[in-house]
Amino acid sequence: MASRDGKTTVSSETRRRRAAPRGTPARRTSGGRRGSSAGGIAGALAPALIVLCALVAVLVAADHLANAGKVHRGVSAGSLYLGGKTPEEAKSLLEARRPGDTREVRLVGGPRGTTLDLGESAADLDAARTAERAYAVGRTGGFFERLGDRADAAVGAASVEPAVSYDRGAVREAVEGLAAETDRKPHPASVSVRDGEAEVAPSREGYALDVPATARNVGRALEDLRGQAPMAGEILEPEVSTPEAEKAAAEASRAMSRAVALTQGERRWELSRAEIGRTMDFATEGGALRVSLDRETLRENLGDVYAALEEEPREASYRVDGAEVSVVPASEGRQINEEKLFGAIEERLIGAGSRREYEVPVGVARPQLTTAEAEAMRPTQKLGSYRTNYSIVQDSGARVENLAISSSAVSGTLLAPGETFSMNGTVSGLDYNATKVIVDGQETLADGGGLCQVTSTLYNAVNEAGLDVVERSPHYSQLPYIRPGLDATVWFGDEQGRGALDMKFENTSDGYVLLREYVADDGYIYAEVWGVPDDVTVQTWSEPVYRNADSAEWVTYQTFREGGKIVYDGVLHRDTYEALKDKKGKPIPADTVPVAPVDP
């Protein structure tokens, strides 16, 4: 029993014992046994906890005394150790390492190490603020937080972030400048041949600096107060390596090991080792060099062979005598079968073959236009004709001479199927007389008077023949020798050919076309178009829309029949003509100018 405040208390164990019958032994319960064990453990641990707390208190006190007024040992700012320094000492140490003073970061890795100059004020360190951060480690926060920070510091694992600011744009610009120096394209290995010997130029790796990644690395180095940063980039492999080039060179050397003999009957030629070397060609294919022969160079080296064995075929042609056209027969020639010869040489030189003598294959060279084809396309039928009266124009004989000069240039022209005829291209540059011409409706003197009448006459013959006129221009004013709408003018243009007017047509027939044009003594100029027989009929005529003193408008119609069927029937073109002017410049009413018939 125990007395508390004058009262007596009895334990439960005691009470249980008293409740038991007299003479009956008291039982020990399991609960009573557990209570006794827990109390024993607590009693045993209590002294240890007291000792531990005392020890921690002593350590904390010792740490406080050891680091009083100083940065805790084991604390760093970035890569700079500041433990054991007073805030002022830490600040001084940080100021001595300011990146803004050095402006340089050493880059490691890549094709070569280099120092990156960031320029003025690229980075700045707040030394006082960084020293404050280091001094605050283990001194701020709750008890256990401070205790944890001090424990980290004790093992050198406590670090604060330096208060660094830097110009990211300046860093990026500096790295880009470095890329211009370090980047290079890979150089593939190559093979060249000189004097029959193959030489290898070795390959070289390239490099491409990763500007964004390197700039980030430099930025982290500045933030951590480190003087170096890794250079990020990629090694660029060449397309062809040196071993591949050496393999190709070995193939070329085998090909050039001996001369090559070419024969044809009793004739014999030799292709020397040096000549074989000049034909060597090396092309990149799938990372390797494919060795082949440059056929153009090989053909040049075989010039003597070609001169001796080949003969050009003679094409069939025509001989023109007035309206008569005869065929000059074609003849066959000889031609080397290049594909077969070059293929055999290349297969054995570059491949595994050892043969060095070849028979030059020669075949027949056939003309593109054979005698039979020329005969089938020979112009034998008059397809179209037209005439105009040159005597209507009162002029000296000089104009008639111009008609003869230009019509003679046209006459005898042969056009192949699909070929285009140009009047300017045929009659320009000849020695013409100065005669009357119409310029902007006004009569004046100029070289070539009469060319438009030659052109208009041929134009109508071409229309009747059913050929395709691709360019034609009307005159400025109506003229008496040709019906309005059926005329065609030409002008050579100025000295540079600007503003030229031409009459052009295409031979759209299946055979050759022969043009004939001449000046007859009956006062007419005649134009004829000859070709292969066909079943084409063309009618062309014109009618006035209006005619007055100032101008006139004419519409030209055409009906085109082929094989008896109408292919086209409608308007060919519309033309407006201004009034002519007399010698004094006074307009001659358009409705008073004589109109030539459709078929003179």
Encode pLDDT of 267-323 as tens digits: 999 999 999 999 999 999 888 899 999 999 999 999 999 999 999 999 999 999 988
pLDDT reported for residue 166? 81
Model pLDDT, residue 448? 57
Tell me what pLDDT residue 507 has: 98
Domain ranges of the chain: 62-236, 243-375, 377-592
Transcribe 45-68 into DSSP letters.
HHHHHHHHHHHHHHHHHHHHHHTT
Q: Is the pLDDT of residue 71 over 50?
A: yes
Distance CA 227, CA 97 (A): 9
Q: 558, 538 in Cβ contact below 8 A?
A: yes
- Span 321-344, pLDDT tens digits: 988 899 999 999 999 999 999 998
Top-confidence residue, 44 or 407: 407
Average pLDDT over residues 255-259: 90
User: For residue 582, what pLDDT band results from cuts at 50, 70 and 90?
Assistant: confident
User: What average pLDDT does this structure show over 241-245?
Assistant: 94
6-18 average pLDDT score: 36
Give the model's pLDDT for residue 586. 80
Distances (CA, A) of 554 to 15, 117, 539: 147, 85, 17
Angle 173-174-178 from CA coordinates, rounded to 5°:
115
Residue 45: pLDDT band with limits 50, 70, 90: low
3-state secondary structure 244-276: HHHHHHHHHHHHCCCCEEEEECCEEEEECHHHH
Helices 168-182 and 211-223 cross at an angle (nearest 10°) of: 130
Name the pTM for this structure: 0.58
The topology (CATH level 3) of 243-375 is Ubiquitin-like (UB roll) (3.10.20)
Task: Kindly tell me if the per-residue pLDDT of 23 is higher than 50.
Answer: no
Model confidence at 135, in pLDDT bands (50, 70, 90)?
confident
Report CA 568 to chain centroid distance, whole Å. 47
Give 354's pLDDT tier (boundaries 50, 70, 90): low
Q: Which residue has the higher pLDDT, 23 or 172?
A: 172
Environment class of 566 (CB within 10 Å of its CB; exposed 0-12, middle 13-18, buried 19+): exposed
Across residues 209-218, what is the average pLDDT?
A: 93
pLDDT at 450: 87
pLDDT digits (tens, 9 = 90+) for 475-500: 998 988 999 999 999 998 888 878 89
pLDDT of residue 151: 73
Quote the CA–CA distance of 598 and 466 in Å, as a whole number: 17
336 phi and psi angles, rounded to 5 deg:
-75, 135
pLDDT tens track for 404-440 = 999 999 999 999 999 999 999 999 989 998 776 666 5
